[in-house]
Amino acid sequence: MNQKYHARIYVTLRPSVLDPAGTAVQSGLAHMGYTDVESVRIGKYIEVNLNAADETQARSQLDLMCDQLLANPVIENYRIELGEGS
């Protein structure tokens, strides 16, 4: 448990799921004059600092956290980038 890791987690809606917030932002941008925007999708970006024995353990912990709390696997995908923390 003595190694520190820094994880960046990207949670995005699955492509088949409608994104009303993204559509609202696109519409807002169009009203502001940004008419060249074709689509906007909004997701979450989560930074986690954690301690783990090794990278494999850190990654498996993060996978579990995403499945159980950080993402909704029914409608969302997630991607984890793991690096060493300071």
Q: Compute the distance between CA of residue 12 and CA of residue 7 in angstroms, rounded to an integer.
A: 16
Nearer to its own copies, 36 or 74 (CB): 36
φ, ψ (nearest 5 deg) of residue 4: -95, 140
User: Which residue number, 17 or 42, has a Cβ lying nearer to its own copies?
Assistant: 42
The smaller minimum CB distance to its own copies, of residues 45 and 74, is found at 45
Q: What six digits make up the tokens of 83?
A: 């690096």
Q: Left if phi > 0, otherwise alpha if psi is -120 to 50, otherwise beta: which for 33?
A: left
Binding site for its own copies (CB under 8 A): 1, 4, 10-12, 22, 25, 28-29, 32, 34, 36-52, 61, 64-65, 68-70
Shortest reach from residue 46's CB to its own copies, in Å: 5
